[in-house]
Amino acid sequence: LAKTTQPISMDSYEGQEVNITCSHNNIATNDYITWYQQFPSQGPRFIIQGYKTKVTNEVASLFIPADRKSSTLSLPRVSLSDTAVYYCLVGEDSSASKIIFGSGTRLSIRP
């Protein structure tokens, strides 16, 4: 099973770039890496997904090194509304039973 490890919490300030790293040493060849964001009393929301190298969308970037044993979610110029819990998820389509959400990283943004 591709278990994930993330920092429990992180603090930053508005306007800063925030990088959250997830370790997944046992990632399998067919596994994709997905990040979700969760606000209090809401369901998780998809942020970004990647397999290797770099992926960028309108809200974040995902950096994956060649060995794929870790990944880094990068949030540019955070605001107070980015305060949430961020989950790293590793899994593949054919092994649906192996979906495992990590414990998440609680990100707190200060003014």
Q: Which residues bind another protein (CB under 8 A)?
A: 32, 34, 36, 41-46, 49, 85, 87, 91-93, 95-97, 99-101, 103-104
**Alpha-carbon separation of residue 38 from 28, 35, 44, 48, 90 (angstroms):** 26, 10, 4, 13, 17
Q: How far is the CB of 43 from another protein (least distance, A)?
A: 3
Q: Which is nearer to another protein, 81 or 97 (CB)?
A: 97
Q: How far is the CB of 67 from another protein (least distance, A)?
A: 21
Q: How far is the CB of 102 from another protein (least distance, A)?
A: 9
Measure CA 11 to chain center: 16
Q: Which is nearer to another protein, 58 or 111 (CB)?
A: 58
Cα–Cα distance between 84 and 99 in angstroms, integer? 21
Measure CA 50 to chain center: 10
